[in-house]
Every structure is written in C-alpha cells, then in structure tokens.
Amino acid sequence: MSYVLKENKIREACENRFASVNIPLIEEENTEIIAMSQSRQLFYKNFREEFSYNSNAIEGNRVTLPETYEILRKNVTVSGKSLKDQMEIVGHAKAFDYLIEVATSKKLPLSKELMLTTHKMILEENDPIAGRFRGFGEDVGVRDTLSGKVYHRGINPLALHDNLDGLIEFYNDLSEDKDINKIALLAGFHMCFEYIHPFLDGNGRTGRLLVNFELVKHGYLPIDVKFAERPLYYAAFEKPDNYERMTELFTRSMVSSLAMYRQLHEQFINGHADKPPVYQTDTVPDNPSNPSQNPALPKKRR
C-alpha cells in the first residue's frame, strides 16, 4: 500500500468512534425511506438540481440555484452567466443521472474507468483535459485567491496511478464489510482521492459524485455538501490524517437528505409532485467584484 492511504487512519475513521455521528439512526431512517420507492424519482429530480448547484458553486461557478432550476428543468440558457458555467451545471447533472443509473441497475465497482467517465461528463467533452488523468509535468494545487493560502498540492503525477490503484483496491475491499461505518469510510476515501488530486480540474466535483455513487449503490440516499458549508468542507482537508470533520459533515448532509426525502414524499402523496422547489438562501453572489459579497474562491477549481 502507498503512503497516501494511511490505512490505520482510515480504519480508525470506520470504527464508529465519533460521538456526534449517530449512524444507527441514519441506517434505520434510510431503510424506512427506501421503502417509499414511489417518491424516489421525485427525490432524485429535486436533489440533482440542488446538488449540481452546490457542487459547482463550491468551485466558483456563478450560476445561482434558481438559474440551475431554469437550465435543468426548462432546458434553456440564462443571460448574464457564461456558457461554460452553464454547461458545467448540465454536465454535472448528466453525470449524476448516469451514476444513479449504474449504481442501481449494474452496481458497478468503483474503478478508474468510472472516474474517467464521470470526469468527462462534468467537463465539456471537447475539453482536452476531460476524461484523462494528470500526466508528467502537470502539477496542480488549490489556492485561496483572497488569502493566498494554499489548501493542497496534488501528488506527483508519476506516483498518481500507483496511489489511485491502491486506494481503489483498499476501498473496494472495505466497502464489502457490512459492519463498516459507510459514511466514515467514504469520508476517508474522499479525502484520499482529493489528496491524490488525479485531474487537472474537476477533482472536487468528481470526488463528490463518486461518494454519492457509492452511497446509492449500498442503499443510502445521496448527500449534498452545501455551498454555505464550503468553509467547513475546506477546513476538513487541513488535517489529512483526521477524517472526523469530514465524517461529521457527510453525516449532517445525510440528515438533510433524509429530511428532503420526507418533505418530497409528502408532496408526492398529496398530489403536489410538480411543485417548484423552495430555493435555499445561500445563492452564489451575482457581484464577483465585491469581496464583501463574494466568499473566498480557490484559484484552481478542485
């Protein structure tokens, strides 16, 4: 195993040692909610919009949540936002739909091929970096443009494939253990994947999509790290050997997914399945030139 995997740390993260993480409750609620199968597609339809908005907004995309709704449900372009940002919304939603389908029907194992397919979908397919890993001389890092702080530098491209192969093998072995805390395991996997940083761009979005692929494949609802939680999300990467922060963040996100499912199920059984969503308030500011309205954005998208 490579030095990146830090096996003992990942195993510790999977041993249910976090007091604030009530995994048994989440397990029970997931089992109950999965039984409401007729609401599942309604949930995915609404979830994909918020997830596509939040995951892209974390990386600096300027499309707002109401605009995301317009783009994905009405298949239109919106004025005042770049075509690239809008295509990233479409690509992310397309990748989410694909991963939900293969997670539920084919139950594909996690693999480099799946990572490449996902990455190609979230970027424009004619983008020369879409669907390929970093190569020799392609170093990458994440820097906060306001503070100048470097959050992370990806590993040397020459070590990339050995580390990625090792992580996939290690994760797939542990994921079959029914006694493993799956949310903690995925928190550890996500941090290791982002530590490796296998792509020149799109690492964060690809990584969060893969987490949801694995959650759905193992019978859970997908999770959505909110744009408003961006500071907490980045802070979790500051101590790469400690997965507790990411596990707690993922768990809170699961609680939010469970609540969303219940709310949408009520709409479904009451005949309001097509009711437009109520937009959350943490919409990306429309004035990127005003620092007081613009959260610190990374120089290089993750």
Q: What is the pLDDT of residue 65?
A: 95
For residue 283, is pLDDT > 70? no
The catalytically annotated residue of 161, 197, 218, 265 is 197
Does residue 192 contact residue 167 with C-beta atoms inside 8 Å? yes
**Could you tell me what percent of the chain has a pLDDT over 90?**
43
Tokens 């918020």 label which residue?
A: 50
Confidence of residue 284 (pLDDT cuts 50, 70, 90): very low
Reading the block at residue 39, the tokens are 């609401």
In a domain, 99, yes or no: yes
In a domain, 276, yes or no: no
Confidence of residue 50 (pLDDT cuts 50, 70, 90): very high
Question: Nearest to residue 285, comparing CAs of 81, 78, 71?
Answer: 81
Q: What is the pLDDT of residues 99-140, one digit of tens each?
A: 999 998 887 889 999 999 999 999 876 688 999 999 988 888
In a domain, 275, yes or no: no
Confidence of residue 177 (pLDDT cuts 50, 70, 90): confident
Q: What is the pLDDT of residue 197?
A: 93
Q: Structural domain of residue 142, as residue ranges?
A: 7-269
Q: What is the pLDDT of residue 139?
A: 86
Collect all residues with Cβ–Cβ distance below 8 Å to 37 and sequence separation of at least 6: none
In a domain, 281, yes or no: no
Confidence of residue 25 (pLDDT cuts 50, 70, 90): low
Reading the block at residue 288, the tokens are 């990127």
In a domain, 236, yes or no: yes
Q: What is the pLDDT of residue 94?
A: 96
In a domain, 226, yes or no: yes
CATH code for position 58? 1.10.3290.10
Collect all residues with Cβ–Cβ distance below 8 Å to 185 and sequence separation of at least 6: 10, 13, 14, 171, 174, 175
* Least confident span in 1-10, 77-86, 124-133, 143-152: 1-10
Total domain count, the chain: 1
* Arithmetic mean of pLDDT, 207-219: 95
Active site residue 272: no
Q: What is the pLDDT of residue 66?
A: 95
Q: What is the pLDDT of residue 99?
A: 96
- Rounded to an integer, what distance in angstroms lies between the CA atom of residue 74 and that of residue 302? 28
Q: What is the pLDDT of residue 299?
A: 39
The mean predicted confidence, pLDDT, of the chain is 79
**pTM > 0.85: yes or no:** no
For residue 1, is pLDDT > 70? no
**Which contiguous run of DSSP H or E holds residue 143?**
strand 141-143
How many angstroms from the chain centroid is the CA of residue 65? Answer: 17
B/e letters for 24-41, b = 16+ CB within 10 Å, e = fewer, are: eebeebbeebeebeebbe
The string of DSSP letters for 153-204 reads EPPPGGGHHHHHHHHHHHHHHHHT-TTS-HHHHHHHHHHHHHHH--SSS-HH
Confidence of residue 270 (pLDDT cuts 50, 70, 90): low
Q: Bridge partners of 298?
A: 144
In a domain, 29, yes or no: yes
Q: What is the pLDDT of residue 100?
A: 93
> Is 150 in a helix, a strand, or coil?
strand
CA distance to 95, 151, 184, 223, 288, per residue, from 121 (Å): 6, 26, 27, 19, 27
Q: What is the pLDDT of residue 237?
A: 85
- Rounded to an integer, what distance in angstroms lies between the CA atom of residue 83 and that of residue 66? 16
